[in-house]
Amino acid sequence: MRHGSRGGGGRGGRNDNKRHKKGDMGRGEYFDTNPDRRQKNTDAQERRLRDGAQGQGIIFPKEEIEAEQRRPKHKVAVMIGYSGTGYKGMQISGSEKTIEGDLFEAFVRAGAISKANAEDPKKSSFVRCARTDKGVHAAGNMISLKLIVEDENIVEKINAELSSQIRVWGIERTIGSFSCYQACDSRWYEYLIPSHAFLPPHPSGWLAKQLEALADQADDRAGYESRQEEVKGFWEKVDEEHIKPILDSIDEDIRWDVVKALQGEEEASAKVVQSEDTEQKTTTVAKPQATPEEIDRTQRLRAATRRLRNAYTAAKRHYRIPTRRIERIQDALSQYVGTRNYHNYTIQKTYKDPSAKRHIKSFTVNPKPILIGEGPDEEKSEWLSLKVHGQSFMMHQIRKMVGMVTLLVRSGSNIRPTMLDSFSENRYSIPKVPGLGLLLERPVFDTYNNLSATKHGREKLIFSKYDKDLEAFKEREIYQRIFREEEERNEFGRFFSHIDNFKDGYFLYVTSMGLEATKGSSRKPLEESGGEESGGEN
């Protein structure tokens, strides 16, 4: 039986289809009017070179290519690191600025790729180990391809052609059939997050009030307070020592308007449920011109609101996380170890989908926080380094894993039963934390190292030999950039403001009532309402 046939006419039933026009004309006429497929491919390739070669390669004159001395090329593994800030991701994409685009151009200019192969990375068997998305960093990643590596200073020459954001750590000869994508056994990722992300919600916020009310309803007030013991009274102390003096100094005629304005900013953040590029048509209505008194009042109101906002920001920057809080974080992260069903931790997956099962080898928080910023240590911001080692990851999986742990710890949740239930068929809405803090730490090639490399006398592919330079690069080009971006854009602050003031039940599984509290939620949270970003972590 012919597979894929449609209708009752077989070939004869489809003569009116344009794809089967050959049935209406002679063979000679058909091929006269339809160019050879190979010619079509040639034409398409020339068109791509003409229209979209920028960022993919360099086109040299025919005379230069013919005059160039032919040199042998070998299959190699190139170990790299980069800061993704300002780049449209790892993979070459037309004329976009990408990591691979800059790397390939540097290979050509350093003489590691011949001029004859300079216009197309595919001619060099160019393969990436792990794809990273727009703005995502990698302390260690790998590409495999054929390079001319007879020059012992080739690494230095390539780095000289690159910006300080991209570094080549080393180049190792491999077996001829090596593909870094296929040979990769597992990957390490790091997520950097400010320690103040684990502070409880401010008592004036909607979520904080729900946490207390539902703890009482579940007869769990004592348990809830015990899980928040190490941060008890933090916000009350901040309000008394830093916020109250500012309020007392504000003119009485605007004092409570300032408080309302600050609360209004936070509530407005939680009401944004569509992507930022969604526009709504509005009718502009002419407003009467403000009087000098009204202008003065508005200016004083804005200045006072800014003072309050800055005071809260400074309090969070000066926060230093207690050891007990870090232990709670580690307890939560440990629930991921092993094989689990992560259908709640990605998009468009069901519990029954076999691909939703993933194996996590380890997930740890460094018990020693990192201080990032300028000036004395007490003025620096404290960050935590979370590292996960897994075989492969789905879209947004790591960011949702961190999101779940952060929500549970900061909310004083009963961690283990909630997390174990999130691996079941029950549906959980888990927000993904900002992509700002995510970076690929390094890929792992244990199978290749222990079998093929040993058998054929090749060097093992490991990043540990570059640890000193790699750590310095992370501090200079990645950590500092993450900190500066957070200072400028306040991504973590806005994210948790959204969570704390999202007046619906989608995230109330963090309360003492668990998943039962989410029943009756009327709308989708921010990330599931059409604002998903492209890309993933695998």
Whether 251 sits among the annotated catalytic residues: the reply is no
DSSP 500-512: HT--SGGGGGGST
Residue 13, pLDDT score: 43
Q: How far apart are CA 529 and CA 299, in angstroms?
A: 36
- Whole-angstrom CA distances from 479 to 140, 259, 313, 343, 438 are 14, 34, 19, 31, 10
Q: Identify the bridge partners of residue 171 per DSSP, sorted by sequence position.
A: 78
Second-level CATH architecture of 55-183? 2-Layer Sandwich (3.30)
Q: Binding residue per annotation — 189?
A: yes
Which residue out of 102, 133, 220, 500 is catalytically annotated? 133
**CATH classification (class only), 193-231+320-442+502-528:** alpha beta
Residue 360, pLDDT score: 98
- The full set of domain ranges for the chain reads 17-50, 55-183, 193-231+320-442+502-528, 234-274+291-317
55-183 and 193-231+320-442+502-528 share one CATH topology?
Answer: yes
| Opening angle at CA 134, ends 133 and 135, nearest 5 | 110
Q: How far apart are CA 100 and CA 262, in angstroms?
A: 44
Residue 80, pLDDT score: 98
Q: How far apart are CA 192 and CA 319, in angstroms?
A: 16
Smallest CA-to-CA distance from 525 within 197, 274, 266 is with: 274
CB within 8 A of 216, min separation 6: which ones? none
CB 441 within 8 A of CB 192: no
Q: Is 94 exposed, middle or buried (0-12, 13-18, 19+ CB in 10 A)?
A: middle
Tokens of 378: 């007490």
Characterize the bridge pairing of strands 438-444 and 137-147: parallel
Residue 306, pLDDT score: 83
Residue 10, pLDDT score: 43
| Opening angle at CA 490, ends 442 and 279, nearest 5 | 105
One digit per residue, pLDDT tens: the chain, 538 residues? 444 433 444 444 444 444 444 444 454 444 444 545 555 555 554 444 433 333 456 776 676 666 667 889 999 999 999 999 999 989 887 778 999 999 999 999 999 998 777 778 888 899 999 988 888 899 999 999 999 999 999 999 999 999 999 999 999 999 999 999 999 999 999 999 999 999 999 998 999 999 999 999 999 999 999 999 999 999 999 999 998 888 887 777 777 777 776 665 555 444 443 333 334 444 445 556 778 777 767 777 788 778 888 888 889 989 999 999 999 999 999 999 999 999 999 999 999 999 999 999 999 999 999 998 888 998 899 999 999 999 999 999 999 999 999 999 999 999 999 999 999 999 999 999 999 999 999 999 999 999 999 999 999 999 999 999 999 999 999 999 999 999 889 899 999 999 998 888 999 999 999 999 998 765 455 444 333 333 345 5
Residue 65, pLDDT score: 66
